A and B are shown apart, each in its own frame.
Chain A
Amino acid sequence: MDSTPRRLLVVIPAFNEQASVADVVAEVFSKLPGASVLVVDDGSSDGTADEARRAGATVAVLPFNLGVGGAMRTGFRYALENGFEVAVQIDADGQHDPAGVPALVAGLDTADLVLGARFAGEGDYVSRGPRRWAMVVLAWFLSRMLRTKLTDTTSGFKASGPRAIRLFASHYPAEYLGDTIEALVIAARSGLVVRQVPSAMRPRAGGTPSHNVFKSAAYLSRAGLALLFASIRPASTYRIEGTA
């Protein structure tokens, strides 16, 4: 155990990303000197963990796939236990530019949780059609709930301050959409301050977002359900440990 001050932890949830994870880790190290990198291998069947380790990251290997939520809760718990004050989530597919991290971290001066938003002016991310509408509806609801203007609620590019780390280390949901929408509701119900900052996103390495009406409707209803149940859960569910 070295006792050097460690503040910033970059958490990279990775599931079968052996092709890109090493590059992402290397990029984080080069653009964010002084940051620690934890790759959470979410039960991958390929060489994700080895690649990440070779690139110099600390790697936590989950015995089976838990989804982004499970991987991130592992990251938050690691951050909490090792005294990190800021945890930033970056996807392993290279979609998030580590150069945007300082802007997120700066936002934590006035907030507990900062989202990097794709539609807030910067970058060339375009989303069209029904999926876009679904996202707008969600953003509207969550903006009201969190009393702040959010335009991109499903962004994985997030920075969490000490309070958020303590909350999410025990209450980060694992369900589908839990890591984005439900996490925001949890933040709102626990009284965290949430902000968004514009941040550029690169196109995803693999997979195209769908523009199918039915898929978007299904997506919206699942998101709506996640929202609803997170809102009506008993208040004691989301108590932050160690605070009154």
Chain B
Amino acid sequence: MTLTSYLLGIIGALLVIAVVVELLRRGSLRERHAVWWLIAGLLALIAAIFPGAVVWVAGLIGIEVPINLVFFVSIAILFLVCLQLSAEVTRLESKTRTLAERVALIELEVRKSRSHDTADDEGSPTRGPAQTGSARTAGRAPARSSGRDRPTGTGEEGS
């Protein structure tokens, strides 16, 4: 192994760690997603600094060609990350589903109360921002005269 390839390994591993840490720092990567990448980076760094360690561990488990250990661990980590992401997508899907259902029902309520407002409270000029609830029912029948020209369908809450 030349010095260049030795340094290349270390620089590559440091780069991975630096990128992960930077993403974490900026908040564009959450800790639980970063864990595997950090582990991968640290393992790569150890293997780069002490190539003998890989050979030693490979011999310990009985892997004849040490590089196969590197491949095995890399693939295992990538596999775990993929699995984690799939699980995350599933969770997100079920959350969006719940949100979509809620939105549909809230929209329904909004539409209903809006049509109630335009049908019942059309032109009740006494209603101010502070008056809610009881004022809504109290100020319903009288004062039909003014406010007729107001466009229907718009929210009157802010007036």
B105 CB contacts on chain A under 8 angstroms = 60, 74, 77-78, 81
Cβ-defined partner of A40 (8 Å) among B94, B103, B104, B112: B104
Stretch at the interface among A63-71, A160-168, A192-200, A218-226: A63-71
Tell yes or no: A146 within 8 A of B by CB. Answer: no
Do residues A74 and B107 form an inter-chain contact, with CB atoms below 8 A?
A: no
| Assembly CA distance A136 to B112 (angstroms) | 45
Tell yes or no: A24 within 8 A of B by CB. Answer: no
Do residues B101 and A58 form an inter-chain contact, with CB atoms below 8 A?
A: no
| Chain B nearest CB, measured from A241 CB (Å) | 14
| Chain A nearest CB, measured from B68 CB (Å) | 35
Q: Which residue of A lies closest to B101 (CB)?
A: A74
| Assembly CA distance A70 to B108 (angstroms) | 16
Per DSSP, chain A at the interface is: mixed
Do residues A63 and B108 form an inter-chain contact, with CB atoms below 8 A?
A: no
**Contact string against A for B residues 106-135, beta-carbon threshold 8 Å, 1 for contact and 0 otherwise:** 011000100000000000000000000000
**Contact string against A for B residues 74-105, beta-carbon threshold 8 Å, 1 for contact and 0 otherwise:** 00000000000000000000100100110111
Per DSSP, chain B at the interface is: helix
Do residues A58 and B97 form an inter-chain contact, with CB atoms below 8 A?
A: no
Tell yes or no: A174 within 8 A of B by CB. Answer: yes
Q: How many residues of B contact A (CB 8 A)?
A: 10
- Enumerate A45-72 residues with CB–CB distance to B below 8 Å: 58-64, 66, 70
Q: Which residue of A lies closest to B106 (CB)?
A: A60
Do residues A62 and B108 form an inter-chain contact, with CB atoms below 8 A?
A: no
A96 CB contacts on chain B under 8 angstroms = none
Do residues B97 and A63 form an inter-chain contact, with CB atoms below 8 A?
A: no
Cβ-defined partner of B100 (8 Å) among A58, A59, A66, A81: A66
Do residues B100 and A77 form an inter-chain contact, with CB atoms below 8 A?
A: no
Tell yes or no: A158 within 8 A of B by CB. Answer: no
A77 CB contacts on chain B under 8 angstroms = 101, 105
| Assembly CA distance A220 to B92 (angstroms) | 28
| Chain A nearest CB, measured from B70 CB (Å) | 36
B104 CB contacts on chain A under 8 angstroms = 40, 60-63, 74
| Assembly CA distance A78 to B100 (angstroms) | 13
B94 CB contacts on chain A under 8 angstroms = 174
| Assembly CA distance A65 to B143 (angstroms) | 45
Cβ-defined partner of A174 (8 Å) among B97, B107, B108, B112: B97
- What are some 10 contacts across the A-B interface (CB < 8 A)? A40-B104, A59-B108, A60-B104, A60-B105, A60-B107, A62-B101, A73-B101, A74-B101, A78-B108, A174-B97
Closest 8 CB pairs of A and B: A60-B104, A74-B101, A60-B108, A62-B104, A63-B100, A62-B100, A74-B104, A70-B97
